[in-house]
Amino acid sequence: MPSAPRARRKEDARARILDEARRIVLEQGFEALTMRRIAEAAGYSAAALYLHFANRDAIARALGEGGMRSLLAALTEAAAVPDPVARLGALALAYVGFARSDPETYRLIFMEQGFAASALGGKDEAGAAAFQLLAGAFQDLHRAGRLKPGQDPAALALTFWILVHGTASLKLTCSAFLSPSEEDLLATALDALLNGVLEPDPTGPNSPGRSIRR
Amino acid sequence: MPSAPRARRKEDARARILDEARRIVLEQGFEALTMRRIAEAAGYSAAALYLHFANRDAIARALGEGGMRSLLAALTEAAAVPDPVARLGALALAYVGFARSDPETYRLIFMEQGFAASALGGKDEAGAAAFQLLAGAFQDLHRAGRLKPGQDPAALALTFWILVHGTASLKLTCSAFLSPSEEDLLATALDALLNGVLEPDPTGPNSPGRSIRR
DNA sequence: GTCTATATTCTGATAGAC
DNA sequence: GTCTATCAGAATATAGAC
């Protein structure tokens, strides 16, 4: 076991490497994240990085995990809103706010292939906790009897995730085609999700779902 | 102007190059698309490709444009359904079906940075036509008086796009975390979008939108 | 039009001196 | 622990012969 000061110094090096890596991804994108660039920014030789991380993938994974913890922190703050409906608005804003403020990290976690499969597919605690915050709002609505009969809170949480991810990711890649702001897009989408867009049909609710599930 | 047979042969070469490029992307992913690999598959030297395409980006752009035309074709078929509500279900299935059957092309068009900005941001006719098919369904609902008062068909079309893209893209990157099938996810989401999930509130509809727009 | 050969530049990763 | 030097290979793109 290394002595306390040595262990601390080693952790410092690790943290410095990750800090610079995060900055490179933020400023130049994920594909600019090379061992040489990280090393130069952190004041090391490229070879020295391999004393602290097994390889480039390990650095990318650490970045993604850190990003997921940031997302969890942002969502946790929003989840403090008591009323579940208002909370969903706050959660949606926090989610797309994270994607907008750190788009390359959002890409890395949710739009790159390989990361979500390995980090989330394993047992990423932060990711599971983040999703639980979304699910909790729908569970609260369910317990309060505010959901229509037959609505499944867990399935609705997935729909909510799809909605905020769709907003965040389309805004990142197709912003030229998506002129409304994230706020306007989310306001329209959440209103539709909660209250519906169709006039009530006296002969029973419309169900494209039936035809989809056939 | 080249003679007819020569022009045809030149177009053949172009088509063969694109065919092989498409196959490589489909089977090995977009990052495996290198000039060397394309050339080998098409039976050319790498240098010969530069007689038919300015550079690698031009090949990628041609692939994306072709993919967008395929998506438009799939959506056009689904758009033949007369009833607008049933049509939305068909369009959603066609959209995610395209993403599932050709995931790497879907990535290239809608999840990679650079393509949508250049191809869609310009004046991609197929892309605009594809979106118009989605918007048309909501316009039909609007004209038939089946939308609630104050609902904007154009904004709802964006919401619909967000939903189907969210479903398609999350399924591509986070399938381990999204156990339900695309069909089940879409059925839940479309039912929510059209009919809402909350019990009607006698004091007026719930509006997280107001708090979002603040 | 197509080839071979090559220039140039980048990448991740390792060996071995200190 | 950190360095220099290097390996082994990949990439795009071009020059010039045929």
Find the Å distance, CA of residue B49 to C1' of nucleotide C9. Answer: 21
Instruction: Name the nucleotide with the smallest C1'–CA separation from B36.
Output: D11
pLDDT given at position A120: 63
Q: Which regions in chain B score pLDDT beneath 70?
A: 1-9, 119-123, 209-211, 214
pLDDT of residue B116: 80
Residue B212 is predicted with a pLDDT of: 81
Find and give the residue nearest to D6, measured CA to C1'.
A47
- Integer Rg of chain B from CA: 21
CA distances from A176 to A67, A173, B96, B119, B149 (A): 26, 8, 22, 10, 29
pLDDT (0 to 100) of residue B197: 96
Tell me if A212 and B92 make a contact (CB, 8 A cut-off): yes
CA A158 to each of CA A166, A190, B69: distance values in angstroms, whole numbers, following the listed order: 12, 14, 30
> What positions of strand D are covered by protein, i.e. any atom < 7 Å from a CB?
1-6, 10-16
| Residue % of chain B over a pLDDT of 90 | 80
Q: How far apart are the first and last CA of chain B?
A: 62
Cβ of residue A44 lies below 7 Å from strand D: yes
Q: Do A213 and B187 touch (CB under 8 A)?
A: yes
CA B205 to chain CA centroid, nearest Å: 33
B6 touches strand C (CB under 7 A): yes
Distance CA B25, CA B31 (A): 8
Q: Look at residue B121 in the predicted model and tell me its pLDDT.
A: 59
* B158 interfaces chain A, CB cutoff of 8 Å: yes
Tell me, yes or no, if A93 comes closer than 8 A to chain B by beta carbon: yes
Check if A213 contacts B (Cβ < 8 Å): yes
User: Which segments in chain A show pLDDT lower than 70?
Assistant: 1-8, 119-123, 209-211, 214
Q: Note whether A205 contacts B: Cβ–Cβ < 8 A.
A: yes
Contact B190, B92 (CB under 8 A): yes
**3-class secondary-structure state, position A147:** strand
Structural domains of chain B in order of their starting residue, each with its CATH number: 1-53 (1.10.10.60), 57-197 (1.10.357.10)
Nucleotide C2, nearest residue via CA and C1': B48
* A184 Cβ under 8 Å from any chain B Cβ: yes
Phi then psi for B88, rounded to 5 degrees? -60, -40
D1 C1' to A101 CA distance, Å:
36
